[in-house]
Structures are given as C-alpha cells and as structure tokens.
C-alpha cells in the first residue's frame, strides 16, 4: 500500500451523499421561506423583497381565527395529555410486574401504530353519531381526539425520566416522616419536571402540527391553521400561504431548539 494514511472510518462517497441529503432537506424549506418575502403575488417570479404577505396574513381574519383555534386546542389537549401521561407513567414504572402492566404499555402506545387516516375516519364515524345524539358540535371533539394521540408522545419522555430516577431519595423522604403527598410534591415532582416539560412540548408540537385527524373530526368553520392551509393549497396560492408557513416553521424551530437544549442540560 502507499504511504497515505488510511482512515478505517471513511467510506468513499458517503460524505458526498450526506451533503446532498442535507442540501435536499433544506432546499425546499429555503425556497418556501424565500418566497414568503416576495413583493409580487407570484410564488415563482421574484419581484423584490417585502413584508406585505406577512402583513396580509396577519390581517386575514380567517387566519387569525384558525391560529387562535390551533393554539387553544394545542394548549388544552397537551395539558390534559401531559397530566394523564404523568400519572400513567407513575403507575407503570418502578414496580414489579403486575397483571395488566403489559396491557397498559400496549394500550397507551397503540395510537402511535395505527395509521392516522384510519383513526381519522373511525373518529368521524363515532363523533358524527355522537353529534346527532347530543346536538353538541363544539371544539370538544377536536380536543378529545388531540388529547388521545398526544398521550403516547407525552408519556415517552416522562417514563424515560422516571426510570432513570433514583428512588432512594423518595425513600429517604418517607423515612423522615413525609406524607406520600409531600414526598410526591417535594421530591418526585421536582426531579420529574424536565421529563414533564419535554413531554408537554412534544405533545404541543404534535397537536399543533396535526392535519389528518383534524381535517376529518372538525365541524364546519372549525379550521385550524394546518387545515386552513390545506384548503388554500387547492387554489392558486399566493405568497400569503408561504408567510403563514414561515411563521409556523419559525415557531416549530424555536420549540425544537428549546427542547434540544433542555434535554442537553439534563445529560
């Protein structure tokens, strides 16, 4: 062999493909964001830089309503989901196997395995009948549906955190005559907090992003931001959709970055 240093880790062409992959991952997003700042009303011809489409989206009442609805559903659903996931995680970790434990794991994780479109039409079937029976057609259905599919996402990091927690601290608290409630509030809860925050953020993003289930469960006039955008894509789109998407994107990136740093600090 020649005198050249031979790096066993390098495989020829792999770095090139990786660069192509990263380029491909970001090119479409970059294009989408760029045209949000287009002065013209086309999403293909560049006519100069402007914020006009952000202003127009901001003043669009349909967008305002949809954004508000998205936020309300995401806050309520991810709060309930996180609370339910926290108690469920407490009930399914740090214990000897008991009858029903495996069942609980499977049950809580099932929503992750069923294709979204299948859950969506199943909910359409059930909720359309409930709507007729009760006459209620508010946001409750969307919140219930979102809560259900958010629970497994909130459950994952909370359970992971609990399993890595040292239970001797809690036993020490009990030895010092703390009541179970006090032990939970003063010892378990503070230790568990990073897991709960991570779980809540995951659930929040998942709820905010949902298109398919929302599209099938919503009643008339209950568009969320994603279903509103889906409706807009059917028509000739203007950069206004790009502007909405850009703001949405910025929000997601912000949340993911925060999530990334919270998890990193823990490690």
Partner 1 sequence: MATAREVSDRAARRDVRDRWLLSAPALIVIFFAAIGPLFVMLAYSFMAKGDYGDVKFGQFSLDGWFSVFLQRDIFDDTITLADAHLSIFWRSVRLSVITTVLTIALGFPTAYFIATRPRHTREIWVFLVTIPFWTNLLIRTFAMQEVIRNEGILNTLLIRLGIIAQPLQIMYTDAAILFGMVYVYLPLMVLPLYASMEKLDFRLVEAGYDLYAGRLQVLRRVIFPLVKPGVIAGSILVFIPSLGAYVIPRVLGGGKNMMLGNLIEMQFGAGRNWPLGAAISITLMAIVMVALLFYVRNTARSGAGHG
Residues 113-132 close enough to bind partner 1 by CB under 8 A: 113-126, 128
**Window of 58-66, 166-174, 181-189, 223-231 that interacts with partner 1 by CB under 8 A:** 223-231
- Of 2-41, which residues contact partner 1 (CB under 8 A)? 6, 8-18, 20-22, 24-29, 31-32, 35
In the structure encoding, which two tokens stand for residue 201, read together? 């953020």
Instruction: State in angstroms the smallest separation of the CB of 166 from partner 1.
Output: 20
Is residue 158 a contact partner of residue 86, using CB atoms and an 8 Å limit?
Answer: yes
**Window of 47-55, 167-175, 191-199, 211-219 that interacts with partner 1 by CB under 8 A:** 211-219
- Binding partner 1 (rule: CB under 8 A), the pick from 63, 74, 145, 187 is 145
Is residue 208 a contact partner of residue 74, using CB atoms and an 8 Å limit?
Answer: yes
Long-range contacts of 114-123 (CB under 8 A, 24+ apart): 116/212, 116/213, 117/212, 119/145, 119/149, 119/213, 120/212, 120/213, 120/215, 120/216, 120/217, 121/216, 123/213, 123/216, 123/217
Instruction: State in angstroms the smallest separation of the CB of 137 from partner 1.
Output: 16
Instruction: State in angstroms the smallest separation of the CB of 61 from partner 1.
Output: 21
Instruction: State in angstroms the smallest separation of the CB of 93 from partner 1.
Output: 10
* Per-residue x/- track, 229-258, partner 1 (CB under 8 A): xx--x-------x---x--xx--xx-xx--
- Of 70-89, which residues contact partner 1 (CB under 8 A)? 80-81, 83-85, 87-88
For residue 163, what is the enclosing H or E element? helix 140-163
What is the distance between the alpha carbons of residues 72 and 79, in angstroms, rounded to a whole number? 11
- Taking the least distance from each CB to partner 1, the nearer of 45 and 166 is 45
- Taking the least distance from each CB to partner 1, the nearer of 59 and 95 is 95
Is residue 94 a contact partner of residue 167, using CB atoms and an 8 Å limit?
Answer: yes
- Of 52-71, which residues contact partner 1 (CB under 8 A)? none
* Nearest alpha-carbon partner for 201 in 82, 86, 120, 117: 82
- Taking the least distance from each CB to partner 1, the nearer of 37 and 155 is 155
Size of residue set near partner 1 by CB under 8 A:
88
Task: Tell whether residue 134 is a contact of partner 1 (CB under 8 A).
Answer: no
Place of tokens 């964001």: 33
- Taking the least distance from each CB to partner 1, the nearer of 31 and 189 is 31
CB proximity list for 258: less than 8 A, separation 6 or greater: 201
């Amino acid at each position: 062999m020649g005198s050249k240093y031979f790096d066993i880790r390098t495989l020829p062409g792999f770095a090139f493909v990786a660069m192509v992959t990263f380029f491909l991952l970001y090119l479409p997003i970059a294009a989408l964001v760029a045209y949000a700042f287009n002065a013209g009303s086309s999403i293909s011809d560049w006519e100069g830089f402007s914020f006009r489409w952000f202003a127009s989206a901001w003043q669009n009442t349909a967008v305002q309503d949809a954004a508000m609805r998205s936020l309300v559903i995401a806050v309520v659903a991810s709060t309930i989901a996180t609370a339910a996931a926290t108690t469920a995680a407490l009930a399914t970790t740090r214990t000897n196997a008991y009858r029903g434990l495996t069942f609980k794991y499977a049950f809580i994780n099932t929503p992750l395995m069923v294709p979204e479109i299948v859950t969506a039409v199943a909910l359409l079937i059930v909720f359309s009948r409930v709507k007729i029976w009760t006459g209620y057609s508010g946001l409750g259905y969307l919140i219930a549906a979102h809560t259900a599919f958010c629970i497994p996402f909130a459950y994952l990091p909370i359970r992971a955190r609990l399993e890595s927690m040292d239970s001797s601290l809690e036993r020490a608290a009990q030895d010092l005559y703390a009541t179970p409630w006090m032990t939970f509030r003063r010892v378990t809860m503070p230790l568990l907090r990073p897991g709960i925050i991570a779980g809540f953020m995951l659930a929040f993003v998942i709820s905010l992003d949902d298109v398919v289930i929302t599209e099938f469960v919503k009643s008339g006039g209950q568009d969320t931001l994603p279903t509103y955008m889906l409706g807009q894509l059917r028509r000739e789109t203007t950069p206004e959709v790009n502007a909405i998407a850009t703001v949405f994107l910025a929000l997601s990136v912000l949340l993911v970055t925060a999530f990334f740093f919270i998890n990193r600090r823990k490690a």
